[in-house]
Structure 1
Amino acid sequence: MPEQFHRPVRRPPTAFDNLVGQADPAEQSRVAHATASALLERARRDESGAVTERLIGFAAEHGIDEIAELWSHAPARSLPGTLWRLYLLQIAIRSDAAQTALLYERGRVELHSADAVIAGAPAPANPEELVALVDMILRGAFRGDFAVALERAAAYCRVQASGATHIADDYERTEPDRAGELTRRALRLTTYAEDLAASAAAWRRGTLV
C-alpha cells in the first residue's frame, strides 16, 4: 500500500479536525472511539442509507487526512482502527485501480484458498469492479453484518498480498527495488488481514470498542 497513506497531507481545519484534542493523547483516543461508535450507530439508524453513502464517498471527496486525524493512531484491533484500515483500502484502490487489479488477479490465480470467493470480486476483476468491491465492503460495514464485512476485507487483503508477493518474485533479479516495494506492500496487507480478521472475531464477541 502506498507509503503516502501513512503520512497524510494536511488540509485546512474542518469540522473533523475540531473534534480532536490536539495535545492530549488520552482525549484523542477518547474522541477516536466516540466518533467511530457514533458514526456507525448513526449509519445503522438511517433507514434511507443516505448517511452510509456520504460516509463511503467522504474520503474520495475530501481526502484521507481528516479521517487520519481521528482514527489513524487508534489500535489496529479497535473500532476506530478498523474503520481507518477500511478507508485506507478504499483510498489505495482508488489511487491506483489498475495496479490493484493486476495484483488482485495474480493473487487470485496463485492463492489456493477460498479468499477470492469470500472477498466477492468477479473473476477476473477489472479496476472498476475492485473500486465497486471496496465500496460494497464499506457499505456492508456501515449497514450490514459488520463482522462479515471485515472478513471480506481481510480476504481481499490476503489475495492482494499473494499477488504482491508473487510479482515481487518476478522482479527480484531484474528490478530489486521494485521487488522490495512489493514485498513491503505484501507484508502490510498481510498485517491488515490479520487485524481485520481479529476485529471481526472481537465484534462477534461484543468486545470491539
Structure 2
Amino acid sequence: MTRSHHRPAPRSGEFFDAFAGMDDPALLSEAADRAAQLLVRGARESEDAAVAERLVHLADEEGIEAIAEVWAHAAADSLAGCLWRLYLLRSWVHADPQGVAHQFEAGRDSAEVARVVAGVPDPPDPDGLRRMIDAVLRGIADGDFADVLFRAAAFGRVVATGRAAQADTSEESVRRMLALAEQLEAAGHLELEGRLA
C-alpha cells in the first residue's frame, strides 16, 4: 500500500513567525525540534523530487534571520542545531564565495583528507564552492544525512586550517570555524548511531 507523504518544506514566513513569537522558550524549543524533524526525516520519506531544491533555498525564501530565530539556540547535537549550522555555512559561502575560496585554498594542502571528504572542486573557485554547499544541502533529501554532516564538517576543517594559515585572521575566527566543524562531525557520528534527534 502506498502512503501519501506530506511535503516537508518549505514553510511560509508565517510558519516561522509563529515560532519566533512564542513567549515560552520550552515551546519554542519544542517547535524548533519538530520543524527540524519534519524537514530532515520528512524529506527522506518524500517522493517529491523538488523537496531537495526547496530545502536548499529555504534560507533564501524565509531569510537566514527567520531560521536563526527558530534554530540558532538549538544544541549542536540536535537536528535543529545541525540545520542551523548547515544553513549558516551556506549563507556564508553564498555571501562571500571569493573569500571562502581563498580560505579553502589556504587550508587544502594541510588538510588533505578533509579536502577530499568535502568534495570541493580543485582548484576551489567561488562558483564551485556555491555548487558544493548546495549539493551538501540537497543531500538532506536525497542522500545520507550523516554524509551531509561529515562533508560540511570536512569543509569547515579545511577553512579553519586556511584561516589559521592567514596572518590577518583572528584566533577567535579560527576557533569558531573549528568548533563548528567538530560539532557537525560529532553530530554525524550520532546520526550513524541512530541517536541524532
> What TM-score, normalized by structure 1, do the two folds share?
0.84
**Identity over the aligned pairs, expressed in percent?**
41
Structure 2 contact 52–140 (Cα < 8 Å) conserved: no
Hey, what's the Cα distance between the residues in 2 that align with 1:96 and 1:54?
22
Aligned length: 185
Which residue number corresponds to residue 6 of structure 1?
A: none
Deviations 1:66-119 (A, max 9, x none): 1112111110111100011000000000010000000001110233x3110000
Which residue number corresponds to residue 106 of structure 1?
A: 106
Cα offset, 1:20, TM superposition = 4.3
Deviations 1:113-167 (A, max 9, x none): 3110000011111000001111111111232111011111100000000111101
Which residue number corresponds to residue 166 of structure 2?
A: 167
Structure 1 contact 161–186 (Cα < 8 Å) conserved: yes
Query: Secondary structure of 1:14's match?
Result: helix
Cα offset, 1:62, TM superposition = 3.5
Hey, what's the Cα distance between the residues in 2 that align with 1:16 and 1:39?
13
Q: Which moved more, 1:84-93 or 1:141-150?
A: 141-150
Q: Which moved more, 1:47-56 or 1:81-90?
A: 47-56
Q: What one-letter code is carried by the residue in structure 2 that aligns with 1:58?
A: L
Q: For structure 2, list consecutive stretches of 5 or more residues without a partner in the other structure.
A: 1-12
Query: Secondary structure of 1:114's match?
Result: helix
Deviations 1:152-194 (A, max 9, x none): 11000000001111013xx3xxxxxxx32xx322111100111
Alignment of 1:204 onto 2:192: yes
Structure 1 contact 20–31 (Cα < 8 Å) conserved: no
Which residue number corresponds to residue 38 of structure 2?
A: 38
Q: Which moved more, 1:45-54 or 1:77-86?
A: 45-54
> What TM-score, normalized by structure 2, do the two folds share?
0.88
Q: CA RMSD in A?
A: 1.5
Structure 1 contact 21–27 (Cα < 8 Å) conserved: no
Which residue number corresponds to residue 135 of structure 2?
A: 136
Hey, what's the Cα distance between the residues in 2 that align with 1:46 and 1:101?
34
Q: What one-letter code is carried by the residue in structure 1 that aligns with 2:143?
A: G
Which residue number corresponds to residue 190 of structure 1?
A: 178
Which residue number corresponds to residue 174 of structure 1?
A: none
